[in-house]
Amino acid sequence: MKWLFVALACVALSEGFVRIPLKKTKSIRSRLREHGVHLPYTDPALKYEPYRSLASSVIQPLNNYADTTYYGPITAGTPPQSFQVLFDTGSANLWVDSTYCNTQACVSHTQFNPKESSTYYSNGETFYLPYGAGSLNGVFGYDMVNVGGIVIKDQQIGLSTSEPGENWVVAPFDGILGLSYPSIAAGGQTPVMDSMMQDNLLQQDIFAFYLTANEAEGSEVAFGGVDTSKYQGQIYWTPVTAETYWQIAINGFLINNQATGWCSSGCQAIVDTGTSQLTCPQQYLGYLMQSIGAQANQNGGYMVDCSEVNNLPTITFNINGVDFSLPPSAYISEENQNGYEYCMVAISSTYLPSQNGQPLWILGDVFLREYYSVYDRANNQMGFATLA
């Protein structure tokens, strides 16, 4: 504000400020405008809500756990309690471990304590959430939630009361932040992204993901904009075909640039940051593994000879007329156990078709590590771009 006082001093000296009767004194804004200084307009009411987030865009860093899980920090409550959550485009609810839960999965993670938040309240509504890796029960509440500096008041948040099974015990995160459409939210709850949109907290009603490979640092999710340093060239857009998950159409599938015809009558795909692998429609999995030269193991997975990885085929999805290819390095996972190196195919099967009966793929992290992905709620479309 140093420039403001200098400008005011110049006004006072040039116009004999002390001799002007008080009732005729012009406003500071008027005097500065006469001298070519224009103050931007600000809403005086903002001082009453110092915690309010103005429309913005933020980049939230994410942790990469074993190339299978991408999670990052949020806070909830007043004063804020911190949690690590999985940012999941394959679900719609926000929930965290809580002190209401005494199962092993809960007590081994950070737990939200509603009694320690002055802004928490609840009507006691309960929920059940099924996931591919497990399920949980909980109770819905409302509280302040901060995601990357974007503050949401009265955000609906689930507090777990029971998390059975081992999968939640070994999970590196304390909860899940769902980013799909509100139509699939349990209990008709409002997802975090929808709260941001309703409160006009974002410059643009979009978010975007950059996922690293080989457990490298640098993964991120951007809200309200895109990180242009993470991709090159243009973003190729395709419409969302069902406002449930982030579902899009697949127009063709190629193996080593040869069309398979599997999607000649149409396929669908769900773009899911919460699924680590790429999944293939069950009726095509055998053909795909045969073309890769993979052999089934006793655990239901598929393996290849590690010395042959560089000779394996490139597989390609045609999305809205644009080809998006995955080299073998993208879908082969090299692992080491007890000094023995082996190579797993990070592709599994999808047994359920899409809602319209077309074959359904899931473009999980195997695909998303190869492309920058943009999720546009304003226009109900998805975008992909080549990594920088």
Q: What is the DSSP letter of 283?
A: H
Q: Spot the catalytic one: 174, 194, 205, 272.
A: 272
Question: What 3-state class would DSSP assign to 235?
Answer: strand
14-36: b (≥16 Cβ within 10 Å) or e: eeeeeeeeeeeeeeeeebbeeee
Q: Spot the catalytic one: 88, 97, 143, 194.
A: 88
Tokens of 239: 């419409």
Q: Please indicate whether residue 272 is annotated as part of the active site.
A: yes
Distance CA 32, CA 150 (A): 34
Q: Would you state the torsion angle of the CA atoms of residues 277, 280, 286, 287, taken in this order, to the nearest 10 degrees?
A: -120
Beta-carbon contacts of residue 92 (< 8 Å; ≥ 6 apart): 178, 179, 180, 181, 182, 183, 184, 185, 186, 189, 191
Other Cβ atoms less than 10 A from the Cβ of 343: the count is 20
Half-sphere exposure of 386 (CA within 13 A, CB side): 8
Phi, psi at 161, each rounded to 5°: -115, -20
314 neighbors 277 (Cβ within 8 angstroms): no
Catalytically active residues are 88, 272
